[in-house]
Amino acid sequence: MMRRPARTTSIRTVRSASRSARTTSREALIHKFHSTVSMIRTIEMLLGIAPMNQLDASAVPMNIFQETPDLTPYKAVLPTIAADNLLTHKPKDKATAEWMKKSNRQNFAHADMADPKVLNAVIWFACTGSGSNIPQTAQLPAYQAMRLGIAKVDQDESVFKKDDDD
């Protein structure tokens, strides 16, 4: 199953920048807001290139560097994952087996190719069991109009029909 890349947050941006250079302050706690654009602006300044657009030009560069490099080795902490995390167990009952089949029929070869309605139903079943029905998806009337098309009004039912009094 392929997963979509996670969205970039300001926290991840700061962490990525601080892990990428030896001149970053490892133990420093910075109380300034930094966005992805701040990181792009900082990279542009480090490389000596001009900003790509007005957003970059107006962004505040990240001030997370120190004068002397820290050459102590970085020790990665590996996450602890259950050994059977990715193994599929045998279904407990007939309903579970049916939902597992529906999940396996989905196209996970590329992002966004699986049917979201089926996947939502599979997740709902996995969390709640077979005792509850999945709630209907809320949709605005405009969505229904775009999906189904706006019905054509007959000439005699036209809103713009002239009255005999005109």
> Is 108 in contact with 1 (CB distance < 8 Å)?
yes
Look at residue 2 and tell me whether its pLDDT is greater than 50.
no
Most confident of 4-8, 22-26, 122-126, 153-157: 122-126
Selected residue with higher pLDDT from 38 and 75: 38
Look at residue 91 and tell me whether its pLDDT is greater than 80.
yes
Selected residue with higher pLDDT from 96 and 24: 96
Rounded to whole angstroms, how far apart are CA atoms 126 and 130?
9
Selected residue with higher pLDDT from 107 and 148: 107
Mean pLDDT of 110-125: 88
Rounded to whole angstroms, how far apart are CA atoms 95 and 101?
10
DSSP, residue by residue, 100-133: HHHHHTS--SSTT-S-HHHHHHHHHHHHH-TTSP
pLDDT value of residue 1: 43
Give tens-digit pLDDT for 50-83. Answer: 999 999 999 999 888 778 888 888 788 887 877 6
> Is 62 in contact with 34 (CB distance < 8 Å)?
yes
Mean pLDDT of 106-125: 87
pLDDT value of residue 9: 44
Mean pLDDT of 109-136: 86
Look at residue 49 and tell me whether its pLDDT is greater than 80.
yes
pTM above 0.75, yes or no: no
CA nearest neighbour of 9 among 41, 33, 43? 33
